Amino acid sequence: MGEPHGIGVVGLGVIAVKYLGTLVGHPDVAIRAVADLDHARSVEVAAGIPGCRALSVADLIADDGVETVLNLTTPDAHAAIALAALARGKNVYGEKPLAATFGEAAAVLRARGRAWVGCAPDTVLGTGIQTARAAVDAGVIGRPVAASATWVAPGHELWHPNPDFYYRPGGGPLLDMGPYYLTSLVHLLGPVTRVTGASSRGRGSRTIGSGPRTGESIPVEVDTHVTGILEHAGGALSTVVLSFDAVASAAAPIEVHGELGSLAVPDPNAFDGTVRVRLLGDPDWTAVEPSAGYVGAERGIGLLDFVRGGHRAGGDLALHVLEVMTALLDSARDGVRAQLTTSVERPPLVPLTTPAQWRKP
């Protein structure tokens, strides 16, 4: 590939550790600079990366050595950082969601010009979701007719030392965890045309359960239990449940049902996991051998896929998924079925790619 692709990382919180674990030392990319509101944190991180400098956000975005800004800030800052980077002609790859609102996300894509915009989740590029998709595409379960996606938990305040943003606009279980599940459903069944949603807010405040702020109460500004029905362009119907108000679920994270069989799909917040199938007339579920996806991948594989020209974790897909989520919340608020304005082509299937293959130049 020639010279490594220059990356500047903005936001050095919990998720940055995982990204840097994938990207630092990879021959395709070089971390040229890092920036954080806590400059001391920037200095500390930069010291551990050869050739990396601790800069302010503005200086990082302006730096000639930075070709792509990796935006790992909180959701309320996603649009501002992306727009600033695009204004300087930089590519942008960001954590999900693409922005806190659909309008902000649409503005980011309008501003991209010749630059590219990518967005997490990239977990869908691992062997779990990609193997399930390969099975669907191959007709293993026949014509898909339905799917379900379920994620429930008692709330991130139990483990996160600064969980405030999960309970502000741009947060909540749908915008936080929904991208993993809804992006997977688009990979599996194609784009969504209409949605119907319902939601609730179990409590007006949450108590932080770990770290120096343990015992502090924080306000809840968003609905914390969301359920909905997605109508896919191909005719399948998906039902989704995402909640910060429940304890656990014994259901498969995602199930896809066809006329000839059903698939149990592993956690889309992980890259691998076992896909299981039960065909019409079979007494039991059987495991499906991995047949597609990046083997052994971690956070950051979507950015590497972009750098190599794959563009599977693209901004158009992220915008469509964000519209699905915001339309579900609008439908829940207004009590109406919501028609979507965006659509998207399913990204190409990821061929089965070993760690040796995706880590080499």
- Do 92 and 241 fall into the same domain? no
Distance CA 262, CA 278 (A): 5
Distance CA 337, CA 93 (A): 32
DSSP state of 222: S
- Do 40 and 152 fall into the same domain? no
The Cα angle at residue 125 between residues 28 and 236, in degrees rounded to 5: 155
Structure tokens at 137: 């595409």
DSSP string, 237-262: EEEEEEESS-----S-SEEEEESSEE
Q: Is the peptide bond before 144 cis (omega within 30 degrees of 0)?
A: no
- Do 200 and 247 fall into the same domain? yes
> Quick one: which H or E segment has residue 144?
strand 144-152
Encode pLDDT of 344-353 as tens digits: 999 999 999 9
Encode pLDDT of 269-304 as tens digits: 999 999 999 999 999 999 999 999 999 999 999 999
- Do 22 and 61 fall into the same domain? yes
Residue 361, pLDDT score: 57
Answer with the one of 83, 100, 119 that is the final residue of a domain.
Answer: 119
Encode pLDDT of 116-148 as tens digits: 999 999 999 999 999 999 999 999 999 999 999
Buried b (16+ CB within 10 A) or exposed e, 148-179: bbbbbbebbbeebebbbbbbbebbbbbbbbbb
Does 302 fall in a domain? no
Q: Is the peptide bond before 121 cis (omega within 30 degrees of 0)?
A: yes
| Number of Cβ within a 10 Å radius of residue 306 | 21
The pTM for the full model equals 0.94
Answer with the one of 119, 140, 169 that is the final residue of a domain.
Answer: 119
- Do 324 and 195 fall into the same domain? yes
- Do 246 and 113 fall into the same domain? no
Domain CATH for 71: 3.40.50.720
Encode pLDDT of 177-214 as tens digits: 999 999 999 999 999 999 999 999 999 999 999 999 99
Task: Find the mean pLDDT for residues 97-108.
Answer: 95
Domain count, the chain: 2
